[in-house]
Amino acid sequence: MKDGGHFGFIVSSAWLDVEYGKGLQEFFLQNYKIITILESKVERWFSDADINTCIIILEKCPDEKERMNNLTWFVLLKKPLRQFIPAAEYEWNKQIERNNSIEKLIQTILSHSKYYENNDLRIYPIPQQDLWNEGYNKTEQNFTGAKWGKYLRAPKIFFTILEKGKDKLIPLKEVAKVRFGIKTGVNEFFYLTEEKIKRLKIEEEFLQPVIFTLKEINGYSVQKDKLKYHVLICNKQKDKLKGKNILKYINWGEKNNLHKRPTCASRQPWYSLGEGWPYAPLIFPAKVGERMPVILNKGIFEDKKLYGIIPNNKENIQLLGAILNSTYTRMMIEFTCRQLIR
């Protein structure tokens, strides 16, 4: 694209808030003025596609100062797009009417330099420099990305709280380690029911209870008798397992080529989920849903559908759990995580 050229695209809006989106964010910020990112609150523009979409308008700009001084407009439409821009028509007067409607929407957006909202739409302008600063990690000296979806969806009070609490709020990663749950690579091998354990006579020393799904949890704590599975935990080499029933099970897995599965093949030995894997005192659901309890956990591992939270200070476990179960935390999650399909 030539300098000053414009680019418009309709794309999945997931990139605004997920890990892989940081590459797009950095590329846009380093090469373009991000004119607007526009999303609809009330419709999917591709009704037969199970994704939420947004419109991106960019202008090629090689001058860094000019780019960073640019104002980016995040726009959320509260009514169907056809109420702003009529469908294309062959009649000349209809084409003029449509072009006028497009120009009116453009002027409505660009005329606001501060937060604006009415019954039709919401506009959140933000300097492009601020978007860069938000995503740039000074410690690591690189761009690590940020959650941009909040500028489209979060209510005004969300930003008021962030502004007033900026000297009091800190990222969770500064007070705790957050990890992904166990990714086995082949659940049918590693997750065993009580019936399967008895049938195969797997030794108890190689088994640990595991939370497989949030449905197994009632309230804010874990009851082991409610869990369906145990996870196989074995870090010993095969020559150290002679005479054990688990060795027969491992050999069965290899006979069925389970050790060649991509995740398993990357491990040594393939059936080891890793040594020194501590229990996480707090468990956090990986997907945003109606239930978002942060669970108090004692001695149970978690599946990849969940996150494990290990506070830096053990004395803060219950306090941190209470904070993460607060209304404020739920609001933060609601407006900074990838959105479910509308």
Contact in structure between 154 and 160 (CB atoms under 8 Å)? no
Report the side by side order of strands in the sheet with 53-60: 6-12, 53-60, 32-40, 71-77, 121-127, 116-117
160 and 190 co-located in one domain: no
Average pLDDT of span 139-150: 90
Instruction: Let me know: does 101 contact 84? Beta carbons within 8 Å.
Output: yes
Rounded to whole angstroms, the Cα distance separating 217 from 224 reads 10
Are residues 181 and 157 part of one domain?
Answer: no
- pLDDT on residue 68: 96
Residues 23 and 64 in one domain: yes
Q: Is 181 helix (H, G, I), strand (E, B) or coil?
A: coil
- Residues 108 and 49 both lie in one domain: yes
The two beta strands, 32-40 and 71-77, are parallel
Please tell me whether residues 113 and 196 are part of one structural domain.
no
**CA-based nearest residue to 31, from 132, 113, 112:** 132
Task: Dump pLDDT digits (tens) for 80-136.
Answer: 999 999 988 888 988 999 999 999 999 999 999 999 999 999 999 999 999 999 999
Q: How many domains, the chain?
A: 2
Q: Both 157 and 183 in a single domain?
A: no
Residue 310: domain span: 177-230+275-336
- Looking only at the bridges linking them, the beta strands covering 207-211 and 301-302 are parallel
Question: Do 149 and 100 fall into the same domain?
Answer: yes
Select from 164, 196, 212 the last residue of a domain: 164
Mean pLDDT of the 271-295 span: 86
Q: Are the CB atoms for 305 and 210 separated by under 8 Å?
A: no
Work out the angle between the directed axes of helices 327-336 and 156-164 (0-180°, nearest 10): 120
Both tokens assigned to 289: 């849903």
In a domain, 235, yes or no: no
Q: Do residues 14 and 128 share a domain?
A: yes
Task: Put the strands of the sheet holding 229-232 in their side by side order.
Answer: 191-192, 229-232, 207-211, 301-302
The residues pairing with 71 across neighbouring beta strands, listed in sequence order, are 127
The beta-carbon contacts of 41-46 under 8 Å, at least 24 apart in sequence, are: 41/76, 41/77, 41/78, 41/153, 42/77, 42/78, 42/79, 42/80, 43/80, 43/81, 43/342, 44/341, 44/342, 45/10, 45/81, 46/10
Q: Count how many Cα atoms sit within 13 Å of the Cα of residue 310 in the half-sphere of its side chain.
A: 13
Going by pLDDT thresholds of 50, 70 and 90, the confidence category of residue 257 is very high
C-alpha closest to that of 28 among 1, 48, 47 = 1
Assigned domain for 265 exists? no
Based on the domain organization, do 216 and 286 belong to the same domain? Answer: yes
Q: Is the pTM of this model over 0.85?
A: no
What pLDDT is attached to residue 47? Answer: 74
Tell me: pLDDT of 339 over 60: no
Provide the pLDDT for residue 142: 92
Host H or E run for residue 109: helix 92-110
What CATH code is carried by the domain that includes residue 288?
Answer: 3.90.220
338 pLDDT band, cuts 50/70/90, is low
Tell whether the model's pLDDT for residue 323 goes beyond 90.
Answer: yes
Q: Which of 164, 199, 218 is the last residue of a domain?
A: 164
Domain boundary among 164, 189, 214: 164
Residue 249 lies in a domain: no
- What is the rounded CA–CA span in Å between residue 95 and residue 59? 25
pLDDT above 80 for 341: no
Say how many CA atoms lie within 13 Å of 154 toward its Cβ.
25
Pairs from 225-228 (Cβ < 8 Å, separation ≥ 24): 227/300, 228/193
70 near 33, Cβ under 8 Å? Answer: yes
pLDDT of residue 274: 84
Residue 159: inside a domain, yes or no?
yes
Pairing mode, strands 282-285 and 229-232: unpaired
Angle between helices 128-135 and 21-31 (to 10 degrees): 140
Q: Do 19 and 122 sit in the same domain of this protein?
A: yes
Query: What single letter denotes the amino acid at residue 146?
Result: A
**Residues in contact with 227: Cβ distance below 8 Å, sequence separation at least 6, in sequence order:** 209, 210, 211, 212, 216, 300
Same domain membership, residue 147 and residue 21: yes
Contact of 98 with 75, CB cutoff 8 Å:
no
157 and 299 both lie in a single domain: no
